[in-house]
Amino acid sequence: MTRPDLSELVLFHKQNAQFGTSYAVFVFPYGPGHHLKKLEGRRLDFDYKKKRQGKIPDEELRQALEKFEESKEVAETSMHNLLETDIEQVSQLSALVDAQLDYHRQAVQILDELADKLKRRVRDTSSRPKREYKPKPRESYEFGESDQSNGGFSCNPAPKVSAPHLDQPCCKALYDFEPENDGELGFKEGDIITLTNQIDENWYEGMINGQSGFFPLNYVEVLVPLPQ
């Protein structure tokens, strides 16, 4: 590559001046933009002294010319180096932009998946019937004289609730049902569940072994229906 002349340097600088900080200065902090400003200053100094030739010492004029020629050579060399490495600089910048695009695409994908999960969670929660919390029955205690080491009172567990009679609304579990949310009633295949209410077309409310909650209709077979 041939070294650019002064006119090419000036043209390059003017074409990139629209970016505020010239492209050349961005790539090389002390590149053509910096050297062109220095060159322009020395050219003005040389022109001024040249007009005063005869009124100032010849040595002063000669030094101004040497400085101008020196700056011109440095600016041309800097421009040559810039053009030689321009492709490499742009390639690195392109790779950086590609990496940024890939990062933001992945971020958008993750956020989209998270948004979908949250929307499904909201829909599931909205469609589930609301349940009022009912505490478990407490164990009964009998106080009195006793030789037991627990301080003179005995602890009798709450009596087990027997299976419901078939003269009251009930159903039989067709499959095992494991509760996934608060308020749901778990049971095993073959269990007989007392029906207390039908929440909607998909959910029953019932009791088994002293526990109450709601469960899906398609997991049970109704033996004695609820009164209409």
Q: Can you give the residue ranges of every domain in the chain?
A: 6-127, 160-224
Residues forming beta bridges with residue 69, ordered by sequence position: none
How would residue 80 be classed by pLDDT, with cut points 50, 70 and 90?
Answer: confident
User: Is 7's pLDDT higher than 70?
Assistant: no
Query: Does the pLDDT of residue 48 top 80, yes or no?
Result: yes
Alpha-carbon gap, residue 198 to 165, rounded angstroms: 19
Cβ(121)–Cβ(42) below 8 Å: no
Q: Tokens 């090419």 sit at which residue?
A: 8
Res 27: pLDDT: 38
Model confidence at 89: pLDDT above 50: yes
Q: Which helix (H) or strand (E) holds 121?
A: helix 58-127
The mean pLDDT value of the chain amounts to: 77
Domain 160-224: top CATH class? mainly beta
* ∠ Cα 55 59 60 (to 5°): 65
Take residue 202 and report the two structure tokens written for it. Answer: 């998909």
> Which residue carries 């049971």 as its tokens?
187
User: What is the percent of the chain where pLDDT is above 90?
Assistant: 35
Whether the pTM exceeds 0.85: the reply is no
pLDDT of residue 135: 67
